[in-house]
Amino acid sequence: MASQKDDFHFHPKCSSLGISHLAFANDILLLCRCDLASVNILFQQLQVFGRMSRLVINANKSSIFFSGVGEVAKHDILQYTSFSEGSFPFKYLEVPLSPYRLLANQYYPLLYKLEPCIHSWMGKHMSYASRLELIRSVLHGMIQF
C-alpha cells in the first residue's frame, strides 16, 4: 500500500528544492502539482492543523491558482476544496506573482511608492552611480519588508 508521501507530487518548479509551502504570519502559499491526490494530501494536512490549533480554514478567503491544468482537474479540485479559482497575477505579501513575465503596467504600484523617494533626492549632489545604488537599496528594502 502506498503512503501519502508516495502520492504527493511537488509543483514542477519546486521539486528540486522540495518546497511545498511558503508561510509568513497568517498567510500561507501551498504549492503542489495539480492532481487530486496531491491536493487531497495538502488539504488533509490543513484540516489536521485546524483541529490541533482550533483554527478554521476560511474558504471565502482561500483561492487556488492553476497554470496548465485541464478543466476537468480544475473542476474536481475546486469542488473538493470549496475554494474559489484565483487569477494571475495575484499578490502574496504585496509582491505580484505570476507564472508569466509581469507586464510594465503591473510594476506601477511599486514605482508609485518609489517616486517620492526619487523626487526627494533630486536636489542632492549625487553621482549617477550613487543614485542608482540608492534606488537599488530602497527597492531591496521594499521587497524585504
Q: How many domains does the chain have?
A: 2
Domain that holds residue 116: 103-145
Instruction: Let me know: does 69 contact 34? Beta carbons within 8 Å.
Output: yes
Do 25 and 67 reside in the same domain of the chain?
yes
Do 57 and 94 reside in the same domain of the chain?
yes
User: Is pLDDT of 57 > 80?
Assistant: yes
Do 80 and 10 reside in the same domain of the chain?
yes
Q: Which residues contact 49 (CB under 8 A, 6 or more apart)?
A: 55
Do 133 and 92 reside in the same domain of the chain?
no
Do 69 and 135 reside in the same domain of the chain?
no
User: Is pLDDT of 145 > 60?
Assistant: no
Mean pLDDT of 101-129: 76
Q: Which of 79-83, 96-100, 124-128 has the highest mean pLDDT?
A: 79-83
Do 69 and 129 reside in the same domain of the chain?
no
User: Which pLDDT value is given to residue 133?
Assistant: 83
Do 121 and 92 reside in the same domain of the chain?
no
How confident is the prediction for the chain on average, in pLDDT? 81
User: Which pLDDT value is given to residue 2?
Assistant: 47
Do 109 and 94 reside in the same domain of the chain?
no
Residue 84 banded pLDDT, cuts 50, 70, 90: very high
Could you tell me the CA-to-CA distances from 70 to 1, 5, 34, 73, 103 in Å, in that order? Answer: 28, 24, 9, 6, 25
User: Is pLDDT of 75 > 90?
Assistant: yes
The CA distance from 52 to 39, in Å, is 20
